[in-house]
Amino acid sequence: MEIPLKRIDKIRWEIPKFDKRMRVPGRVYADDALIQKMRQDRTLEQAANVAMLPGIYKCSIVMPDGHQGYGFPIGGVAAFDVKEGVISPGGVGYDINCLAPGSKVLTEHGYWVKVEEMPEKFKLQGLRVYDIDKGHNDFSEVAFVAEREVKENELAVRIITESGRVIEGSEDHPVLTPQGYVYLGNVKEGDEVLVYPFEGVDFEERRGVLLSEEDFADADEQIVKFLKERDLLPLRWEDRRIGALARILGFAFGDGHLGEMEGRLYLSFYGKEKTLRELKKDLERLGINANLYVRERNYCIETVSGEYKGKTVSSELRVTS
């Protein structure tokens, strides 16, 4: 279907209400090259379809990354009236690039699960992701998991790196390279691909009570109250915060200090500022406030070969009772 377009300016186009079922016009953000690509599939037709939905507000929008989806175009945006509008779960659809069964997916806490296990386990933890713009690790919660059947005559692509890493998936699965993301099917022998250095460990599922109130029979009542208020007692193996607790405990034993100051107990962690900020997030997930102190200090070291002076930066994360 040829969808009519009216040019507004260099990068904005309007899809007029050419169909009497359209309640609002469409708005497309794209240059000439992108518009031509959108005309090659059903992107614009789907944008017009969205404009027919009850309660849609102002216009049906297609962003520059728009391409054909399953209902909305992927890259489509629409707002609906809270009373008269519709709710469309997964309305934009999803890209159909897939990983093959057996592919390892790394979670935020360092263990991996097989991709086919994701439908039943994705709610346990977020997934480890890499922000290529900011250049650092992060994690993201999983919104939903999609599965599909293999199409007739559909081929999978397998890449084996010199280091022995393997990835197998559909031809259009994105792979990160020094030049950005490319489709798996476009990677050639000799090309460089980026791999995550940490492989993680296999997921071992455990259930049941790890700590109960009976384990704190001789503890101060304030401690029991504190843990109960944060839903940490009883503590179960399947609690989503187990990974964060393990990290905090390991950090405390390795680079922590438990002390007393002015009649109050405190627990301090020492390390790089970036690491301590991540630890602070873990503590906040448990409902625990912590203060980060970053100080520039002068130092003087006397050795047999002389005296050395300089400046250094120390970082401390402190939790106070």
Which pairs count as long-range contacts for 28-34, CB under 8 Å and 24+ apart, including other chains?
28/61, 28/62, 28/66, 29/61, 29/62, 29/63, 29/64, 30/62, 30/64, 30/66, 31/64, 34/64, 34/66
Contact indicator for 65, 47 with CB cutoff of 8 Å = no
Which part of the chain is CATH 3.10.28.10? 240-320
pLDDT(5) > 60: yes
Of residues 231 and 125, more confidently modeled:
231
Q: Under CATH, what is the fold of the domain 104-202?
A: Endonuclease - Pi-scei; Chain A, domain 1 (2.170.16)
CB 251 within 8 A of CB 315: no
Asked if residues 46 and 69 have their Cβ atoms less than 8 Å apart, the reply is yes
Model confidence band, residue 129 (pLDDT cutoffs 50, 70, 90) = confident
Q: How many Cβ atoms sit within 10 Å of the Cβ of residue 189?
A: 5
For residues 120-132, give the mean pLDDT. Answer: 74
Residues 267-310: tens digit of each pLDDT: 999 999 989 998 999 999 898 999 999 999 888 888 888 888 89
Question: Percent of the chain beyond pLDDT 90?
Answer: 46
Q: Residue 215's pLDDT is what?
A: 92
At residue 135 the predicted structure's pLDDT band, cuts being 50, 70 and 90, is: low
Q: Are 230 and 265 in contact, with CB atoms under 8 Å apart?
A: no
The distance of Cα 68 from the centroid of its chain, to the nearest Å, equals: 24
> How far apart, in whole angstroms, are the C-alpha atoms of residue 182 and residue 185?
8
> Could you say which architecture CATH assigns to the domain 240-320?
Roll (3.10)
Task: Report the chain's mean pLDDT, rounded to a whole number.
Answer: 87
Task: List where CATH 2.170.16.10 sits in the chain.
Answer: 104-202
Cis peptide before 16, with omega less than 30 degrees from 0? no
What pLDDT is recorded for position 93? 55
DSSP string, 232-301: -SSEETT-TTHHHHHHHHHHHHHHEEEEEETTEEEEEEES-HHHHHHHHHHHHHTT---EEEEEEEEEEE
Q: Which helix (H) or strand (E) holds 311?
A: strand 306-320
Helix (H, G, I), strand (E, B) or coil at 216: helix
